[in-house]
Amino acid sequence: MAEDSGPVDNFNEDGEDVVTLGQLKDAIEQNESERVMNGPKSMVCTYPENYVPRQSIFSCVTCQEESEGELAGICFACSENCHAGHEVLQLYTKRNFCCDCGNSKFKNNKCTLFDGKIPKNRRNKYNHNFKGLYCTCDKPYPPAPDDPMFKAEMFQCCICEDWFHGEHIGIPDDVYQDLEQELVCNSCSNQYPWLIVYKAVLDKKLAEVANVTQETSPTTSQEPQPATEKQEPPKEEVQTPEFNGCTLENPEFKSSPNSNGFVFPSIEWRKLLCKCEKCKRMYEDLDIEYLLDENDSALRYVEGNWKAMEDKDGDIFNEIAQTTSHEVALTLKNGVANLSSKLKEFLDKSDPGKVITKEDIENFFDGVNAKKFKPNEDL
């Protein structure tokens, strides 16, 4: 969470709205984050897609109060259109969720984007996140500024999809650092104790890869080698016999009770899940077959949305190329990218509490224009 720079007066002496450089930077970053999390479908309700494998979900506090606290989730498009002006909470992403907007859970609000929804989506799963509460501490995010957890990071469990403060589930904040990793919370670790087996399997494989890399990396010799000397090929690593049965029955890896949560260092662990008939039936009985799908992860969702954003931007420049020329489109594309980069650089160097003035804007563009005429230099 970003540091709170303190309250800012939003009006100047003439009573006009003002914006600080810090607020502008936050708004730009928030807009980019929302584009990545919500994807390109801003005006289309996802209900016709049924239970979407993963999407951004929101909870409308206004409608929840009118419906006597019944929990419901809505897609991004409905949060922007059907619930405009309402108090809406962003729950980030949820898996296998079908938009509830306008169904029987909503007493006074109809979906304006899609008509004819069934009364309830019975496969949807709800938890206290839909009330704006998170973690074992059952607190809102962000909590009150005077709360000890105000600046604490939270991480999402890849099973139950609740969010947790690291210290509340026995995991230091520096252990979980990016979306490539996946967290299993205390509750899910106890509910599915065999998951810890796959952490041991993955840890072993990563260690083997690290050892091979270290052994085969080139070393600098003190004396030059004769050109005619025949180089010996690196010796192959001695492989231990693979266990061909069910991974969970491998005596090398034993499941043991684990009261704390843990972090998989990579989503590669999903590829290691045993796919014998017994295990596949277990996944189905436990309703966790999604773990077999690497694309279920939050990382793959974000990567997919990034690509969709890039493709959409690319389509715009392709249209420009068709009506003008490829050279014009490429010049415009590079110009937009450079301008965006320079704006970020300008905001990073500026005092976040400084109010934006006309002179600030003019100085920024004067600097950009001055650099345009320097040889061998980008915008």
- Let me know if residue 183 belongs to a domain: yes
Whether 156 is in a domain gets the answer yes
**Separation of alpha carbons 376 and 379, rounded Å:** 10
Are 146 and 261 members of one domain? yes
Is residue 161 one of the residues assigned to a domain? yes
Task: Tell me the C-alpha to C-alpha distance, in Å, between residue 374 and each of 366, 367, 377, 379.
Answer: 13, 11, 6, 9
Cβ-defined contacts of 155-158 (< 8 Å, 24+): 155/183, 156/92, 156/183, 156/298, 157/183, 157/184, 157/185, 157/188, 157/261, 158/182, 158/183, 158/184, 158/264, 158/291, 158/297, 158/298
How many domains would you assign to the chain? 3
Overall pTM surpassing 0.85 (yes/no)? no
Give residue 102's domain range: 46-131
- Per the document, the length of the chain is 379
Residue pLDDT tens, the chain, 379 long? 333 444 344 544 444 455 565 655 565 555 555 655 566 556 799 999 999 999 999 999 999 999 888 999 999 999 999 999 999 999 999 999 999 999 999 988 999 999 989 999 999 999 999 999 999 999 998 889 999 998 888 999 999 999 999 999 988 877 877 778 999 999 999 999 999 999 988 988 888 777 776 666 565 545 555 444 444 444 444 343 455 689 888 877 776 666 688 999 999 999 999 999 999 999 999 999 999 998 999 888 888 877 766 655 544 545 555 566 556 545 655 655 666 666 667 666 666 666 666 666 666 666 655 554 444 444 4
Q: How far is CA 61 from the centre of its chain?
A: 23
Let me know if residue 320 belongs to a domain.
no
Q: Is residue 78 part of a domain?
A: yes
Do residues 152 and 175 both lie within one domain?
yes
Q: Is residue 4 part of a domain?
A: no
Q: What integer pLDDT is reported at residue 33 of this predicted model?
A: 54
Q: According to the model, what pLDDT value does residue 366 have?
A: 64
Residues 150 and 39 in one domain: no
Q: Do 283 and 158 have their domain in common?
A: yes
What CA–CA distance (Å, rounded) separates 263 from 181? 7
- My answer on whether 33 and 53 are in the same domain is no
The whole-number pLDDT of residue 15 equals: 46
If asked whether residues 21 and 73 sit together in one domain, one would say no
pLDDT at 6: 40
